[in-house]
Structure 1
Amino acid sequence: MPLPTPRVSLPSSLHRLRRHRRTAAVAPRPVARLAWWSAGVLPAVGCLTSFSIGARKATMVIPGVGYQGGFSAGWAHALNQPAYFTWLSNALVAGTSLTLAARDTAPTSDAFWALRTAGLGSVMVTGIVYNAVLRGHEEDTALYRVNDTLQHVVNPVLAPAVWALFDPRGQITHRRAGLASVIPLLWAAMTMTRGRRIDWYPYPFLDVPRLGSRTVGLVLVGILTGFTGFMGMLGDLDRRLTPA
């Protein structure tokens, strides 16, 4: 009489890994692909129109700032657009959304989902900070209004909504969230270092000459804390939406 084959139970971490791979490997539905195309094209339009605005307009003059630097209209200002956190967050959302839309199956690498998570957290921070602090400094041109609406109103709402409805579940892990945090940290470090060198900062709340390094440091800590909080919220929602 043959002996029964013993059942081997896999560790819970292996079960999660198998589930992550399975959810990411499912071919997307047409409605999901359409949603990703929309969530990718709109921020891409915002990023591209930023170059056009920078080429045509000089750096916005904000009364009372302590720094003296800036950029005249032209190539220098156009190429400076990635220095804005708004541009960076929308570019991350555009790149990852278009990747999901173009592929038959979703990527499974830590690098991709770290970028995806960073884009989602960053674009939500962008929407809140801009509309709470910076609203009112807009330029009165049609192109600027379209750019402003896409980058600061539409995409901060559309990107997380598309993620919640259509992204494969189980992809926001603690490791990937940690990797995602590196992006805003690098942006903050580069912004402060570059600002001291060229005497210009992309936002008035980063005005070191007027506010001082300590105050600006606290502002950055607040922004990074908000980013971390959004990633935690996304991770928790991701786990809740993941099929058992």
Structure 2
Amino acid sequence: MPAWLRRIAERSAPAARRRRAVPAPGRAARVGWWAAGALPLVGCLTSFPIGASKPTIAVPGVGYQGGFAAGWQHPLNQPAYFTWLSNAMVAGTSLTLAARRTAPTSDAFWAVRTAGLGSVMVTGIVYNGLLRGMEQDTALYRFNDTLQHIVNPVLAPAVWAAFDPRGQITGRRAGLAAVIPLVWAAATLVRGARIDWYPYPFLDVPRMGYRGVGVVLSVVLAGFSGLLGVLGQLDRRLAVR
């Protein structure tokens, strides 16, 4: 077919047919995604027996008085922690990539994937920079802590850089990804005012006030947005290579 005729045919074809297909992932990619999904899943699941056997950590000096005793309520409260949410997003999207023959193409999936990557890195930075030392001295807790706060914040972006299809972090998807931590923060503050408990001391509204907590959240969200920008730049560079 002459080149000019082929160009006309491509222009008249549906957009979905013109789009270059993403190659099927190889064995190494699937192994990487399974590992990057299974480990945060284990971290999320082991949070439940920890909650069942231990109450919420009593942080000295905070202004809120609520909390959860060991038992059925504390395990149900685990998704309130940003650590749990970030690891759950990484687990779900990584296992989806590992199980499918081809990668999803929806904005929703890649927004959650992007949010999970940014969130788990923020989790590692904030926890190890500000909250380290609040651990409970049990073997299961130390195992869970190592997975969720050390291993997964490094493993998830490494597997993404090595195996994820390129060109998936667009401005639209990064914007959608940023909505997730905003919704979590809003829901946490509303819930905290009702139950007089917050998952982290830097969200201590009774002591810091909404203005002080807002400043902290603005810094964290700015860091999150910066990480998404770095991921987007790296995604484009890797696509060129």
The separation in 2 between residues aligned to 1:27 and 1:157, in whole angstroms, is: 25
Q: Which runs of 4+ in 1 moved over 3 A?
A: 4-10
1:85 is matched with 82
Deviations 1:130-178 (A, max 9, x none): 0000000000100000000000000000000000000000101111111
Counterpart of 2:19 in structure 1: which amino acid? R
Residue 218 (structure 1) aligned to one of 211, 215, 232: 215
Give how far 1:6 is off: 8.8
Percent identity of the aligned residues? 74
Distance 2:131 2:6 in 1: 64
Is 1:202 aligned to residue 199 of structure 2? Answer: yes
Shift of 1:212: 1.3
User: Alpha carbons of 1:40 and 1:6: their partners in 2 closer, same or farther (altered >3 Å)?
Assistant: closer
Equivalents in 1 of 2:6, 2:95: separation in Å? 46
Letter of the 2:161 partner, please give it.
Answer: A
Aligned mates of 2:57, 2:165 — CA distance in 1: 40
Aligned counterparts, 1:116-155, within 5 A: 116-155=113-152
| RMSD over equivalenced CA pairs, Å | 1.9
TM-score, normalised by the number of residues in structure 1: 0.92
**d(CA) in 1 for partners of 2:158 and 2:5?**
47
TM-score (norm 2): 0.93
State yes or no: 1:99 paired with 2:100. Answer: no
> Could you tell me which residue of structure 2 aligns to residue 180 of structure 1?
177
Say yes or no: does 1:57 pair with 2:54: yes
Distance 1:170 1:239 in 2: 6
Gapped runs of 5+ residues in structure 1?
A: none
Q: Which residue of 2 aligns with 1:18?
A: 19
Cα-to-partner distance string for 1:10-66 (whole Å, 9 max, x where unaligned): 7xxx7xx834xx23xx11100110000000000000000001100110010111110
Paired with 2:7 and 2:130, the residues of 1 have a C-alpha distance of: 59
User: Structure 2: where are the runs of 5+ without partners?
Assistant: none
Pairing partner for 1:111 from 105, 108, 112:
108
* Matches of 1:242 and 1:31, distance apart in 2: 19
